[in-house]
Structure 1
């Protein structure tokens, strides 16, 4: 069994945690990671991806007792940072591995403590990593990094935040040399592109652990009933909107715990407000990234403790934050992409053997057709390819300033070399690079000596 590859101490801890048998992703992922390979782990939510990455890394740490900070765990969201901290602290306490989190909400006293007494494992975001790279004390600790885990890499690969991270990782390599990189991803349409994106040109093994799992996505365009007229008057809207509002209410009422996704923050607010107006005391709340940390944590906990029947949310709950068991997913209007449909509906019934069950509530004829195609393509796993932002000059400008802060005085050739190592900038011309440098000089953000 794959757990037999681990040290005796870690085998005992794995049993104590309740892992009797490894999941498929753990069977396939642990051996290459423990042998030192860079790995892209692809598996749906809830099948033990995190443990498949962190258990072998902790095993290597036990064997070698690396200096802190030796492990970086990067996630796209602060809320994922918090969730990951809760999950990893148990392992850290059992194995005497010091684990801490660092992001924009981390108080100053905690930041000072990390600089003086660095953790063995630091959980952070792409932006915070780049904020601590130039910091005098943290820079010294980052020289000890041996492992980098990038969670939800498919989400980062789609955005300029991810493009920025690729140069950030090259800046990290300038400090610590090479490191083993483990990337975790949901099911994606083009894993080879993600490997190119995150590997830094190093060999990376793709491990697909997609276990057979039934996914049901229904598309409906609800029909009006007589009571919808009075409902429309109650919430000051038209009859067709009232039909959809009633449908959302009834679906939530008929299930134990439902995530209701919308495509924008504004609409999440509107839908929540109208549900409460139409059905007073109905236990729903909204959740999106513009809300305060305290509100988001309260909503997550109330849903997890079944005080809420549903959370009306955006992509803020699309990723793997632990909010308890979910038995149904509502998507209000087409999610536009089959990959998003699968990711969102996959939040329900994500334990092995359970069906992921969801519905798309469409609004008009165009939305019906689009939703039907998205649902069909998603269930067939015909997912959109990843489109990476290449030669993003705004990102480049930010990173040139960052590198100049890392090194204070650095040659143009060296900056160009570091940037070009990042896959999204592999085709960057010298002329483009110099144009951005000169603009930064005009803005007095850097000083150039071209002689």
Structure 2
């Protein structure tokens, strides 16, 4: 190959490569002559701004973050200087020299073709690795090791952990290029990749160069550090000029349309200029738009989202490049830089969640440096219009959201530790800790936390100690991560390598038959026992939700009045900046700094502003802002208007939910939006809740408890528990539970301090304005009330109650006070535990107070002998005989026995011998007077056979106590 390269080089030098000029020629001359020749062969007449800035810094050996809009040639800006250096290097035999990492499998095929054009002409092989690559192609890489490997974080994880024979070829890596870096930074996939890069460095001993490519980044310095890790190279941040020329329009629907979505689709159809890319915020809406457009006669269309098979997505992308499709309806899957050919126009069905997403989406049109990017937003109401205007205005101001970067995600740490030992080696804990701490997300990881995670995994059997300071894979690992068909509580082995979260589904079961499946977030957030849902065209009432086994038991019903609509989730997260801009426009009007919104849309925005503002003006109510809260009392619900942003609103909403549920039980709820929160409670007002929270001094402690009643905690625990080796219930004192709480709190507070908010309310720094009663609801409140109600979610509290009762007996009131739950909930739970299960409970009478006390069946014998309760199980012999009436099942005939109290133990033994079952539905004990009359009786329910002797003795002791009290 060396001779071939020399020949290419001579040929390139002999030719007059004058396709570039001026500064571009000067920069290109830094490249290897063979690469210069290909630049001209490609037909380039100039470099793009990002190429002019990035190429010199990459050739200088810096770690580089290169930022530019889509279509500016970022891939070539990274690739050409790397190829130039590869042509000049002395290869160390077979191995991978360039590792090109992309977050999206769909990008790999496009990138492979794009990179191969350059690499193959220079004599380099290009390989690709992801889950959908055919097995034959994967095996081929062993025979012909690619110098350039294009892969995903997950596939790199597999190769480093599991590819025993191929792993060694990564030891030659000299360059790592990470594409679409904004999709990874701050996520668990990003933390995973940051650790993998440090593991790669540790394995190879090479201080490879790191090149990051991104279209949009809100905090470039921090992003550049995130993936530079332990590298000592200089960091250069280069920007490829400003954004392309942008032009937006906002399209509203006819207010008379009864179905807003259908009205939106009609307007969308009028706005299409083929080829058009339509973005939606959910897969459900994408499919509905396709169906509606198809009915209107559109033919050359396709839907592109994560539920569409990769083969079909690739086919759609290919047809788009060929110009054979006029309209593609997509979710985030086409936000990134997949080459889909020329896009004339982008239409967004409803505004996206963030400014960065708006920019990414509109950037897909005009896919070259000089073209104008055109984007239209279909708004279904005035709120949509103003949210769209807020996003566009922020973009015009140059604002981009900064990514939230999770620190020390312990589930990622746990997986990376296990990934290391999957190699089949005994690994030193000191080595693992040292290498992982070099990754930016784990730079502050303390040894005590690291050791705690190790201990948790050893306890759960997925790791085991092989020496005093070394570990190896535990025997339980393959019970959780299985090669064969997974159980409901286990995972497939391939899932171990990925942090791409997929929805976990609850099976909906009627008897022994599965009637459907429901998304876990829908279940945790919306559904509760007693609700009615529609599945498969039939109505079903929920009788039980089994969180551990992910099963919902239902029974058929005809009651449609209480039906809960199927949740169409996936709504985008809106930042606090969007909420603040929204209210700022209501106060100060719409003043956009840049001419990027057409005049008709400006008038539309001004009209929507006037309609919403007029409610505040007419009722003489201040417009919410950072220092003003407005509270509306709408009867069944109260609404608090404030520019929270989604994350802070969720945190405050969970606090409200916790305090209301503590006072009223489970029949309360909140609605959470970036512009305000509503609380639905019968007897707990917002003012009562605010008074209880006070200055926010203890808000962190309250928030921890509030999360235990929120659906979000159950979702998070399910997400991370397998990483630590838990398959079923996760104890509250475990590392997993604490980590789930920590991750949620840090995320929810990433845009604003909840404590500061309540401190401001308490001090008067944030003023509260209460709207007079009988004032009609504001347009904003009406919108808030249209969102789904989030209700409290209690994990099955049997475990918590059993833990509290262990070794003792308590009343319902005592348990309720200890757990800060309504007595009715505790009473119902204890009655449920009385019927059986792993934490079987039983009740008995306290002879001193007359109250019912509850204890675990397994503790009843010890409690009957304890100093505190011994008297509750001792007879004084007041009555000669007692009668025991037993019902083995509800509605069955009584079986009666008479016992002499002087021979009580023998009498009980005789009854036990004659019992036909181990369970007694009802035990009723009556004293028999000297005249042979049955006096007042006492009844016990759901009594297991082993508890029967103690229950009879308790009944006699209590009856005797009552008879001497009169």
Coarse TM-score class (shorter-chain normalised): over 0.9
Separation in structure 2 between the aligned mates of residue 108 and residue 301 of structure 1, nearest angstrom? 23
- 2: distance between equivalents of 1:103 and 1:187? 25
Other-structure match for 2:113: 86
Q: Which residue of structure 1 aligns with residue 43 of structure 2?
A: 18
Selected match of 1:204 from 222, 235, 242: 235
Q: Which residue of the other structure, out of 175, 195, 202, is the alignment partner of 2:203?
A: 175
**Structure 2 match to 1:186:** 215
TM alignment of 1:148-163, pairs within 5 A: 148-163=176-191
Q: Check the 8 A contact 1:151/1:183 in 2, yes or no.
A: yes
**C-alpha distance in structure 1 between counterparts of 2:298 and 2:361, whole Å:** 26
More strand by share: 2
| Aligned position for 1:141 | 169
TM-score, structure 1 normalization: 0.93
Query: Structure 1 residues 75, 7: closer, same or farther in 2, change over 3 A?
Result: same
Correspondence for 1:374: 391
Distance 1:447 1:204 in 2: 40
CA offsets 1:35-61 (integer angstroms, 9 cap, x no match): 211111011110111100000000000
What pairs up with 1:108-123 in 2 under 5 angstroms? 108-123=135-150
CA distance in 1, matches of 2:134, 2:458: 34
Q: Which residue of 2 is the match for residue 63 of structure 1?
A: 88
Which residue of 2 is the match for residue 233 of structure 1?
A: none
Q: In structure 2, the residue corresponding to 1:149 is in which secondary structure? A: strand
2:305 is aligned with 1:285: no
Once the two structures are superposed, the pairs formed by residues 293-332 of structure 1 within 5 Å of their partners are 293-332=310-349
CA contact (8 A) 2:69 2:244 kept: no
Contact kept? 2:108, 2:150, Cα under 8 Å: yes
Conserved? CA contact 1:37–1:204, under 8 Å: yes
8 Å contact 1:219–1:375 — kept in the other structure?
no
Q: How far off is 1:415 after superposition?
A: 0.9
**Could you say if the C-alpha distance between residues 239 and 310 of structure 1 is closer, same or farther in structure 2, counting changes exceeding 3 Å?**
same
Q: Deviations over 1:22-45 (max 9, x none)?
A: 111111110111121111101111
1:274 maps to 2:292: yes
Give CA deviations for 1:354-405 in whole Å, capped at 9, x if unaligned: 1111012122333322221112112332000111122111111111111223
Decide which moves more: 129-138 or 334-343. 129-138
- The structural deviation recorded for 1:122 is 0.5
Partners in 2 of 1:159 and 1:221 — Cα distance? 35
> Match of 1:91, SS?
helix
* CA–CA distance in structure 1, aligned partners of residues 387 and 423 of structure 2: 48
Quick one: distance in 2 between partners of 1:435 and 1:219?
53
Whether 2:268 is the aligned partner of 1:248: answer: yes
- Distance between the aligned counterparts of 1:186 and 1:213, measured in 2? 11
Aligned-partner Cα distance in 1 for 2:306–2:243: 33
Equivalent-residue separation in structure 2 for 1:399 and 1:364 (angstroms)? 47
Corresponding residue number in structure 1 for 2:440: 423
Unaligned runs of 5+ in 1: 229-237
CA distance in 1, matches of 2:255, 2:323: 31
Is residue 198–residue 230 contact of structure 2 (8 Å, CA) maintained in 1?
Answer: no
Within-5 A mapping of 1:375-414: 375-406=392-423, 408-414=425-431
SS in 2 for 1:216: strand
Match of 1:232 in 2: none
2:101 corresponds, among 74, 81, 85, to 74
Count, aligned residues: 437
CA contact 2:105–2:152 (8 Å) conserved in 1: yes
For structure 2, the 5+ residue unaligned runs are 1-25, 470-966
More helix by share: 1
Q: Secondary structure at the match of 1:72?
A: strand
Q: What SS does the aligned partner of 1:20 have?
A: coil
CA distance in 2, matches of 1:450, 1:275: 66
Alpha-carbon distance change, 301 to 397 in structure 1, aligned in 2, over 3 angstroms: same
1:8 Cα shift?
1.6
* Change over 3 Å in CA distance of 1:117–1:216 after alignment to 2: same
Q: Does 1:29 align with 2:49?
A: no
2:244 matched residue in structure 1 = 213
Q: Is the 8 A contact 1:80 1:321 kept in 2?
A: yes
Q: Where does residue 447 of structure 1 map in the other structure?
A: 464
Q: Residues 65 and 224 of structure 2 are in contact (CA less than 8 Å); yes or no, is this contact kept in structure 1?
A: yes
* Bigger CA radius of gyration: 2
Structure 2 CA distance, aligned partners of 1:106 and 1:391?
32
Deviates more, 1:426-435 or 1:313-322: 426-435
User: Does the 8 A contact of 2:99 with 2:173 survive in 1?
Assistant: yes
Report the alpha carbon displacement of residue 14 of structure 1 after superposing the two structures with TM. 1.3
**Cα distance in 2 between the residues matched to 1:404 and 1:6:** 42
Q: In the alignment, is residue 355 of structure 1 matched against residue 384 of structure 2? A: no
Q: Distance in 2 between matches of 1:443 and 1:52?
A: 48
Question: Bigger shift: 303-312 or 123-132?
Answer: 303-312
Aligned-partner Cα distance in 1 for 2:440–2:186 = 13
Distance 1:152 1:421 in 2: 23
**Preserved CA contact (<8 Å) 2:48 2:369:** no
1:450 to partner: Cα distance = 4.2
TM-score using structure 2 length: 0.44
Output the CA distance in 2 between the equivalents of 1:446 and 1:36. Answer: 40
Give 1:248 shift. 1.0
Q: Is the 8 A contact 1:260 1:332 kept in 2?
A: yes
- State the alpha-carbon separation in 2 of the partners of residues 443 and 83 from structure 1: 43
> Aligned to 1:183, what secondary structure does the other structure show?
strand
C-alpha separation in 2, matches of 1:406 and 1:44: 40
Aligned to 1:43: 68
Q: Is the 8 A contact 1:152 1:184 kept in 2?
A: yes
| Structure 1 SS opposite 2:427 | coil
- Root-mean-square deviation over aligned CA pairs: 1.6
C-alpha distance in structure 2 between counterparts of 1:380 and 1:62, whole Å = 44
CA contact (8 A) 1:85 1:123 kept: yes
Query: Measured at CA, do residues 212 and 436 of structure 1 come closer, stay the same or move farther in structure 2, by a change above 3 Å?
Result: closer
Aligned partners of 1:440, 1:116: CA distance in 2, in Å? 38
